[in-house]
Structure formats: C-alpha cells, structure tokens
Structure 1
Amino acid sequence: MKPQMTLLSCSKLVFKDSKDQILLDHVSLEVQAGEKVAIVGPNGAGKSILQKHLSGRLNPAMGEIKLHDKSLSAIPPLKRAQLMAVMAQSEQIEPLLSVAEYVSLGRIPHQHSSKAKEDNKQIDRAIKICGLEKFKDQTIQTLSGGERQRTSLARAIAQSPELLLLDEPTNHLDLRARADILKLVKGLPSTVIAVLHDLSLVHDFADRVIVVRQGKIISDGPPSESLSPAIVRDVFGMETLDVLHPVTGKPLRVYEAPHLETNIQTEKEFTYA
C-alpha cells in the first residue's frame, strides 16, 4: 500500500460575515491525495463557505490553508488553476457556445505550458469521460439540466486538476442524473471534495464524510461512522433505516423523517356544544 500524502490542509479557519457572525469556527482538516470526500450538513451549516475557502475564493479571518504544504495564498492564481478545478453550484455558461468550446475553457491555465495536441487530447478525454461525444457540436442552450452539469464537469476535468472541488454537483438533477454524476466523479483519479445535500448518495461516493453544523466540524470519518444513526438524528433530525436490496442483497441505508405521534380524534370523540 502506498503511503498517504496530504494534498490539502487547513488549520483553525475562522470566517465572519459583515455582521460579525461566525460562519466558520476554528475548522481544521487534512485531505489525502486520491480521497473522495463529501461535506454534508443542514442548510446554513457552512458547507459552501468552507468549500470556497478551500478553493481560495474566500480568505479566512484567521487560520491557514495549504496545498502541497504551501500556503494557498502564496500560490500564484495561474499555478493554482493548474492544480485545482472548481465546479460551482450554478455556473453561468454562454448559451451559444458549443459543448467542445466550453470544455476547452478548462485548458486556459495550461495554454502557455502545453501544446495544442495535448490540449485537444485532454478536451476529447473529458468529453468522453462525461459521455458527451454526441453533444460535442451542440450549443449549451440545447442541453438538458443533466447534460449541462456533465458539460460543467467536463470543463473541470479538462483542466487536469490534482484536486477537484464540487459545490452541490447534483443540484436540480433528477435521481438518475444525480447517481450518474457521482458515479462518474468517483471514477476520476483526482482528489475530490464535494459538498452534497442528499445523504442517500453519499455512501456510494465518499471514502470519507465531513459533517458540518454551525460552522464547526461535528464528525469526520468513513460514511458508516460520520453518518451513524445518532449523528444523523442529532444533526439532521432524521432517522436511519438499514435494509437489504430485495434483488441484489446489497445493504442500503434509508433516511426518513421521524414518525410523529399525533392525537387524532375520531368523530365519536368530538363533543359538540
């Protein structure tokens, strides 16, 4: 087994909003090369804020972020773009661009260090990985929501990043498209940190799950530990149910709202004045 190498780390990150409210509260973590990490938590927990710090799009009030053991703030933007790619929740894409044209934007960070042949190779590779060959010459405006998400992902893959940061990559997608996107990402060689909101998708994707609440890390470990019934109940207010798939026998974890006891009166129990 190869020794693990820390690719990204942060130490005691603190971030406050304009009203001096703490949104990240002394957050520290390490991400090893090759890991697939999910960041989960209730709405307003600080997931996306943490992701934006890890990508360098926001600067902390306190603390430090390191990439390859070098302060992220000290890495020039061009070099940073060669090492990491970001797929935001809702990317603004020029609708008249073709799929190939948009994906090619991922090669901009490498335009002074690679040849056109290598750029085209990486563009074609990204389009193939994301299953977009038949849409290559279509304009963005003709694509479905799922196809646009895959196009955004292909642009990030074409960047050839060591680290891929995804913010709600399954947002607004149907169930099949969500599963397809995460299966695709799972197979990439890059280290991936993904903010996810659908707990049912986490187990098949993540090697490790970071649970965030009120700007703090509540749990950090394998899915079975970080999403234990006790933690899910405490953080999300949901109950967990472990079942076996009726056909494959595969263990499945289902999340559902707790059953509420209600006092329902029958017609005979009503007293009329």
Structure 2
Amino acid sequence: MNEITITIPTPDGFSLSGVLYEYHGQPKAVVQFNIGTGMRKEFYGNLARYLAENGFIVCLWEYRGMGKSKPNDKDEFSCITMQDWAIDMRTVLDFLEARYPDWPKLMIGHSIGGQLLGLLPNHTILKGMVMITCSTGTWWHHTFPYRLKSYYFFNILTSLTVPFLGYLPAKKLNIMEDLPGALILEWREWCNSENYLFDFLGKSIPHNTYNEISLPIKAYWTTDDPIANAVSVPALLRHFLKADIMTEAIRPTDYGVKRIGHFGLFSRKFKERFWSKIVIDLETMLSTNHHYNNPSLKKVNL
C-alpha cells in the first residue's frame, strides 16, 4: 500500500489536506472518506488503511478549517461555513475523478460527512455511499441527557464565545477541533430547527440535490448513540427520496462491548466484525445488478 500526502486546491482558494492510500495492484474502486465535524483525519486512519489493504484507493481528507486544512489567517478561518464544507466535498470528488478516471467512485461519510451529500451537484459520479452514524442534528432529537449538552453547546457556549473570539474554542474544552464562528452559527441555526438543514433548502441553502440522488446508500447507526438515533437517522434518510437505502442498527451487546456511541465504530476492535462489513457493502455497490430491495438481501429496519 502506498501512502501519499496530497493537497487539493478549492475553487475559492483554500488548500485541503489529504492522504491517498493506494492499493498495490488493480483497485476495485476509489473511496472518498468524509470525516465528522470537528475531527481530524488521523482519527480515521486505521479504517482507511484497512480499506486500502482490501483493494481500494482511499482518499482521507480534512475540510477547510480542520487539522492541516486550517488557514493561518484568523479572519479567513472565522468566515468558513458548513456550506463551504459541501464545496470541499464536491472539490475532492472532482479531484478523484480527474486523478483516477478509470475507476468507479464510492463515498464513506461519518456524521456531517453523510449529511451534506445532497449538496453535491456532482453526486452522479458516485456508485454508492456508506453512512456511519449520520443523522440530522436537531438538538431535542438527541437522547436524554445528551440533549442538555447539545443545548448548552449550541445556545450557551456558542453565545459566550463566538461574538468575542470569532470562533468556538472547542479544542481547549476537549470537545473537538475549534470551529469557525460562521460555521458554528450556521450549524446552530440548523440544530435549532425541527427539520435541521432541510428547513433552509431554497432559502439560505439555495441549491440542493437530495430529491435527485438515486445511489445505493448503506446507513449504520448504533443503538447507544445519543446523536444518530432511532429518531434522527430516519429524519435524515427520508429526504433521499430516490435513493436505494438499507439501514442497520449496531448493538453493543452483539459485538461484546459495553458502548460504541457516535465514534466507536472507528476503533480497531471492530476491524474483523464491522469494518469487514463495509468492504462487502462497497463491493456490493459496484455490482451493476445491485439493489438493496432485492428479496435475497435482508433490509434491516430502524
């Protein structure tokens, strides 16, 4: 496996940090790996390497403002938005299509990395999507008592810091990476709305393709995740009207662990039993006869 550090320029002048994990031999496909909000790409490195070892080219990268994609200029950092991250996703997909024109493209998204799929005008490049703990973010749809933390995060902590600093100092509080002021304010608006970002389509979000996407989507969620749960996961997926969706609930007891939550599936302890399922999902999506509603395939309901 080759591990190549890359920089991907965006149309509006940002530089996105990424790593390409290239399979030795003829690859099955190219996988774009979208990380979660406030995360660094290194957190997902073990899974990305595992996928490359199993026959894929994997591009693991960071949104503008995160990790090594963070600009030096504070004003430039503070103006980054969630919709800019959708531009970044689109840019990476175009980059991969140009670099590897002969191989099909697939996508994996964690949390926000799946939510924003419907903001990509170039989604037709893709052959399929695996979503890992992706859902809407409306704070009162989170399970109790986590919803209290969510309310505090968006409506108290943000109000006490962003107007004075221009960003949310989440790293000092050991929550996540620091978030740009414009981004957290936009995200707060979404999370304070019943239908999350979908209440802003055609308004502050001028263009979207949620109703157009006809990809196969495999969506995993964990039963002890306070964020992506039995309410918030279908609240996201119901907007992909034409997509061929299969959902699967991961229960900690079935995997011999006490908890998994929103981030646990990326731990190496799930390599053999869960990561291997992702490989099968990706391979299945490459089949021209693939259809999740085929009676021979079990559809796991929420």
Normalised by the length of structure 2, the TM-score is: 0.25
Higher-Rg member (1/2)? 1
1 or 2, which has the higher strand percentage? 1
Normalised by the length of structure 1, the TM-score is: 0.27
